[in-house]
């Protein structure tokens, strides 16, 4: 099972985590600076910063603020992390559509 780090621990992150699990991912951890508010989310640890030396190389930024989300995603990609596309298993996608990384 592929492992995923989710940046953010709010309502949006919960929805993204549920989608990721439906898509076959295992959530390694959530990363959110507000760790005082969150210690565990959906049974997964919430960290204040990414885990040191983690072998996980895939992450999703689940933060509602577009500027913050874009900045974090650009930083992750520059560090060699992959930000996968999550598509609900029951989604109907046109065969003319192309799915790819989110950009603001």
Q: Would the pLDDT of 20 be above 90?
A: yes
Number of residues assigned to the chain: 104
List domains and CATH numbers for the chain: 3-78 (3.40.50.20)
DSSP, res 50: P
101 confidence band (pLDDT: 50, 70, 90): confident
CA dihedral 76, 80, 85, 86 (to 10 degrees): -70
Whether the pTM exceeds 0.85: the reply is yes
Per residue in 41-79, pLDDT (tens digit) is 899 999 988 888 778 899 999 999 999 999 999 999 998
pLDDT at 49: 87
- C-beta of residue 60 within 8 angstroms of C-beta of residue 4: yes
Q: Which residue has the higher pLDDT, 94 or 35?
A: 94
């Amino acid at each position: 099972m592929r492992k995923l780090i989710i940046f953010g621990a709010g309502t949006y992150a919960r929805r993204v985590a549920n989608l990721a699990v439906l898509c076959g991912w295992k959530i390694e951890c959530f990363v959110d600076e507000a760790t005082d508010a969150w210690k565990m989310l959906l049974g997964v640890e919430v960290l204040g910063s990414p885990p040191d030396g983690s072998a996980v190389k895939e992450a999703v930024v689940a933060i509602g603020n577009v500027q913050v989300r874009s900045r974090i995603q650009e930083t992750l990609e520059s560090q060699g992390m992959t930000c996968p596309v999550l598509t609900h298993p029951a989604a109907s996608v046109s065969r003319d559509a192309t799915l790819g990384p989110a950009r603001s």
